[in-house]
């Protein structure tokens, strides 16, 4: 798939994927946070109490489909 196609396909939020797959948002974040192709949008911290910047993930449909297929295959389904 070309970068132009990936850029224009639907991207899902962590919350949307969690709802689709009936799993927790933290689980989705752990599954996809280091996956190539997932958009990582960093927000600067506004307070000194927060040491890490807030990172928002956007997961392309093609990665969701590929991940689901791989996990289904590895679980014998």
Q: How far, in Å, CA of 13 to CA of 21, rounded?
A: 12
In a domain, 73, yes or no: no
pTM of the model as a whole: 0.78
According to the model, what pLDDT value does residue 77 have?
52
In a domain, 26, yes or no: yes
CA distance 1 to 21: 24
pLDDT, position 62: 93
How do residues 40-66 score in pLDDT, each as one tens digit?
Answer: 998 776 666 666 778 899 999 999 999
Range of the domain at 9: 1-43+54-63
In angstroms, the CA 10 to CA 64 distance is 11
Q: Is residue 48 included in any domain, yes or no? A: no
Query: Is the pLDDT reported for residue 6 higher than 80?
Result: no
Share of the chain above pLDDT 70, in %: 79
pLDDT category at 76 given cuts 50, 70, 90 is low
Q: In which element (H, E) is residue 8 found?
A: helix 3-8
């Amino acid at each position: 798939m070309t970068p132009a196609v990936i850029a224009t396909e639907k991207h899902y939020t962590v919350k949307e994927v969690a709802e689709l797959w009936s799993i927790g948002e933290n689980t989705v974040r752990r599954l996809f946070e280091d996956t190539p192709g997932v958009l990582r949008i960093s927000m600067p911290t506004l307070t000194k109490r927060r040491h890490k910047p807030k990172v928002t993930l956007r997961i392309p449909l093609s990665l969701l489909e590929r991940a689901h297929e791989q996990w289904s295959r590895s679980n014998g389904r």
